[in-house]
Structure 1
Amino acid sequence: MNIADKISKKLKRRIMAAILVLIGISGGFLWYYSKGAEEIQYKTVRAERSDLRSVIQATGTLDAVETVDVGTQISGTVKEIYIDYNSVVKKGQIIAEIDSATQQTDVAQAEANLMAARADLMNSEAVLANAEKSLARTRKLAEKDLIAKADVDTEEKTYLTSKAQVAASRARIAQYQATLDKTKINLGYTRIYSPVDGVVVAKNVEKGQTVAASYQTPSIAEIAKDLSQMQVEVNVDEADIGGVREGQKATFTVDAHPNDPFSGVVTQVRLSPTTTDNVVTYVVIVKVSNNKGLLMPGMTANVSLIVEEREDVIVVPNSAFRFKPADPSANSGQPGAGMTGKQTIAEVKKPAVYMIEKKTPVRIEVERGISDGQNTEIISGLSEGDEVITGIIVPNGEK
């Protein structure tokens, strides 16, 4: 055997060895991936019947339905304060008193001025009566040519002057009477009464404090008319306000009673927006019952506005719509088996879930209804008991 034959045999053996190695590696890869595919497990959930609510989550503040701010019409020093926080008051009950010394002096002065004006009127009327008699005598004498015409003119002027004085006196009486009435009203303002039945939720002055009513009415107290009925002022984001209507139901909780849900009804959707840090919200008023007295003004409420409700409908978890399997062409090994073209794009836009058929995810188009954020109503496409894929469990156990 020559050297060339020896080299040829060695080369053939090396080529055969390389081929065997490649076959072994390819087989290993095929075994590994086929085994990996077999180990993929899908997490599934049954479609079931349940009641469902579509809600809008928001926060709000509790307040009395009607709160009256009781103020004082006059300036002065608070002489007495008869109420405190949480005091129950009746309509017409005195709640505070302003020192009335100045007002009493004003009344006395106005009464004196009125008496003087009445006395002046009596004097003016007496002068007028004399002037009227004198004018009558003068005219009779003038008719007999016993006095000159100028004397008659003088008496007529005196009469008219006296008559004007009487009118002026009467006007002064009316003026002083009005002043007296005003001072009496101001004297009455020194005693402050509750305008409604209710509960004092704020006391804004103390005994001895000076209040000034120059430009605005100073507040003495705030009285909630009826705390058995309250309201929640809910701030709803502009993205959600389109789903809110008057008459809708609402539920909420407060931090003071986290395990006690409360319910109410939307009574008003205010059109005026509020903008804070470029976030636009609208105020929604929810009226609630507070017969047990657990709710207090100022509490923060975590509100769920019920947009829609469904009873006994088929539902699946929202995670079923988020699940998307790997490209089918990668699993099946068939070129072109993946979704392509206009038809595929249109189909992808339609809501769909996946079910397992022959160990393979199959896309099922469905018609969706309302959602509560965790589950979604299925109007058509699935039946009760159908199992839909919500995720996968990989070999190491991670979901």
Structure 2
Amino acid sequence: MRLALVAVLLCTLIVGLGYTYSQEDQASTFITAPVERGTISSVVKATGAVEAVVTVDVSSQLSGRIADVFVNFNDPVKAGQPIAQLDQEIFAARVNEARAVLKVAAATALVQKAALERAGVAVANARTAKKLAEAQSAAAKARQDEVERDLQRKLELARSGSATDRELTQARAQRDTGAADFRASVEQINMREEAIAIAEAEKRMAEANIENAQAIVEQRQAALDQAQLDLGRTVLRAPIDGMIIKRDVNPGQTVAVSLEAKTLFRIANDLREMEVHGKIDEADVGGLKIGQTAFFTVDAFPERTFTGRVLQIRKSPEVVQNVVTYTTIISAPNPELLLLPGMTAALRIVVSDTGEILKVPNQAFRFRPNGMSSRTDQQGRDQTPSSAETSATVWTVGSDGRPVPVAVKLGVSDDQSTQLTAGSLTQDQPLIVGIAHSRKPAGLLGIRLGF
């Protein structure tokens, strides 16, 4: 019984020693990354949308039924090319009606012109009649003067007894008759003057009537031009060269024009030259300048980085849920036609760069032999240039295979590395960024005891 108990205790002891030995007998393998020489760029990050440089929405200026559509999505078009057409029947009828009304107005203008000519002749006749009346009045005046002289002679003769009373009476009667004829001729002249005034007034009325008729002709001509213009507008034409990127109309559809015209087509000018409309936070917009280099990626080509430059920083703010952003236009050359309108772009705008420097991988700041992270301020640090240097400790692999601390001073940083401003590190020197454990098989007297 004692022998059995001793045997059990010995087995237990051997198993415990083997387990302990297996736990302590571990070899550590460090993961390293080298100190590199390169540049660290200070960038502003934002998102934006890829857009064509020039995009035009095409709508109808008229209401009516769509008779035909000549283009489809992705079709190239030239400026002035027909892309759709409204039913033209009612507009053609309006043109014919306006043309007929114009003919009536033109005929009325001709009638008024003839009336003006007649009024001119009436004025000329009235002036001629006045001249005739003046001549007749002059003749009557001459006859009256002669009769008056004859009466004076008879009076002289009557005083001397050489003329009879009858002759004297006849001379007086002729004088009175001549005076009446002269007064009548004067009144006739006045009547002719009034007739001239009436004729001239009628002529002025005829002139006003013909001006009115000509104005009506011009009005009817304008109505005809408007009707013909509307008839021409029944054919929708491309305003620019480009490509159809949106079509929202089909034959038979009715278009109703209101205060806000419905977009029927959208045409992008040249897809080989695109723009990114980035939304820049108000905290970052102060560092942007025209001409700065920008890089961006799109979800369709995540491994491809596109390059552009800042073209415009718009001063109009956009406020969404109390977040203020400013639209910045980035050029986006697209010779391979990979970028399409509406794609979401992840932007990185280079505000400044350090030039050629030594830089330390950011993972090196998070390593500690005891497993604790150091310099939590380095984790996920944004790339914000700072004039003040910060201190940190990184670890290299010593000659005995153990971690050796190295004190360094740091400058600006980006997502992957930080500028080395002071320290004993050299280019390509490996720094510990992590640790990997590999357990060796453990045993006692050649027998494997670990599990």
User: Shorter-normalised TM-score: what interval?
Assistant: 0.7 to 0.9
Contact 1:77–1:208 (Cα < 8 Å) also in 2 = yes
1:353 is aligned, of 389, 392, 398, to: 392
2:356 alignment partner, SS class = strand
1:261 is aligned, of 293, 302, 305, to: 305
Contact 2:281–2:326 (Cα < 8 Å) also in 1 = yes
Matched AA of 1:220: L
Contact 1:352–1:363 (Cα < 8 Å) also in 2 = no
Change (3 A) 1:109 1:322: same
TM (norm. structure 1) is 0.73
Identity %: 35
Q: In structure 2, what is the equivalent of residue 183 of structure 1?
A: 227
Change (3 A) 1:132 1:60: same
Matched AA of 1:208: G
Contact 1:42–1:389 (Cα < 8 Å) also in 2 = no
Question: Equivalences for 1:183-262 in 2 at 5 Å?
Answer: 183-262=227-306
- Please state how far the C-alpha of 1:66 moved relative to its aligned partner: 0.8
Task: State the alpha-carbon separation in 2 of the partners of residues 243 and 293 from structure 1.
Answer: 31
For 1:168-214, what per-residue CA distance to the aligned partner results, in whole angstroms no more than 9, with x for missing partners? 11111111111111111111111111111110001122111221223
> RMSD of the TM alignment (CA)?
3.4
Contact 1:355–1:388 (Cα < 8 Å) also in 2 = no
1:183 alignment partner, SS class = helix
Matched AA of 2:42: S
Contact 1:254–1:300 (Cα < 8 Å) also in 2 = yes
Question: Equivalences for 1:164-175 in 2 at 5 Å?
Answer: 164-175=208-219
- Please state how far the C-alpha of 1:323 moved relative to its aligned partner: 7.7
Task: State the alpha-carbon separation in 2 of the partners of residues 180 and 392 from structure 1.
Answer: 85
Q: In structure 2, what is the equivalent of residue 272 of structure 1?
A: 316
Task: State the alpha-carbon separation in 2 of the partners of residues 194 and 220 from structure 1.
Answer: 11
Q: In structure 1, what is the equivalent of residue 164 of structure 2?
A: none
Change (3 A) 1:44 1:161: closer
Q: In structure 1, what is the equivalent of residue 409 of structure 2?
A: 366
- Please state how far the C-alpha of 1:50 moved relative to its aligned partner: 3.0
- Please state how far the C-alpha of 1:93 moved relative to its aligned partner: 0.8
Task: State the alpha-carbon separation in 2 of the partners of residues 68 and 392 from structure 1.
Answer: 55
Question: Equivalences for 1:1-399 in 2 at 5 Å?
Answer: 47-145=35-133, 148=191, 149-318=193-362, 351-354=390-393, 364=407, 366=409, 368=411, 370-384=412-426
Change (3 A) 1:226 1:48: closer
1:55 alignment partner, SS class = strand
1:155 alignment partner, SS class = helix
2:330 alignment partner, SS class = strand
- Please state how far the C-alpha of 1:324 moved relative to its aligned partner: 9.4
Contact 2:298–2:345 (Cα < 8 Å) also in 1 = yes
Change (3 A) 1:382 1:74: farther
Matched AA of 1:126: A
Matched AA of 1:187: L
- Please state how far the C-alpha of 1:235 moved relative to its aligned partner: 1.9
Task: State the alpha-carbon separation in 1 of the partners of residues 95 and 317 from structure 2.
Answer: 50
Task: State the alpha-carbon separation in 2 of the partners of residues 229 and 392 from structure 1.
Answer: 45
Matched AA of 2:390: P
Task: State the alpha-carbon separation in 2 of the partners of residues 197 and 386 from structure 1.
Answer: 55
Q: In structure 1, what is the equivalent of residue 181 of structure 2?
A: none
Matched AA of 2:80: G
Task: State the alpha-carbon separation in 2 of the partners of residues 291 and 273 from structure 1.
Answer: 32
Contact 1:76–1:98 (Cα < 8 Å) also in 2 = yes
- Please state how far the C-alpha of 1:223 moved relative to its aligned partner: 0.4
- Please state how far the C-alpha of 1:361 moved relative to its aligned partner: 8.4
1:230 alignment partner, SS class = strand
Matched AA of 1:73: Q
Contact 2:369–2:403 (Cα < 8 Å) also in 1 = no
Change (3 A) 1:253 1:362: closer
- Please state how far the C-alpha of 1:261 moved relative to its aligned partner: 2.4
- Please state how far the C-alpha of 1:227 moved relative to its aligned partner: 0.6
Matched AA of 1:200: I
Change (3 A) 1:104 1:356: closer
Matched AA of 1:50: G
- Please state how far the C-alpha of 1:388 moved relative to its aligned partner: 9.7
Q: In structure 1, what is the equivalent of residue 25 of structure 2?
A: none
Structure 2 spans left out of the alignment, 5+ residues: 1-28, 134-187, 371-387, 440-451
1:144 alignment partner, SS class = helix
Task: State the alpha-carbon separation in 1 of the partners of residues 105 and 72 from structure 2.
Answer: 46
Task: State the alpha-carbon separation in 2 of the partners of residues 88 and 392 from structure 1.
Answer: 56
Change (3 A) 1:208 1:324: same
Task: State the alpha-carbon separation in 2 of the partners of residues 136 and 85 from structure 1.
Answer: 75
Task: State the alpha-carbon separation in 2 of the partners of residues 150 and 305 from structure 1.
Answer: 92
- Please state how far the C-alpha of 1:136 moved relative to its aligned partner: 0.9
Matched AA of 1:57: K
Task: State the alpha-carbon separation in 2 of the partners of residues 306 and 380 from structure 1.
Answer: 25
Task: State the alpha-carbon separation in 1 of the partners of residues 98 and 355 from structure 2.
Answer: 76
- Please state how far the C-alpha of 1:74 moved relative to its aligned partner: 1.5
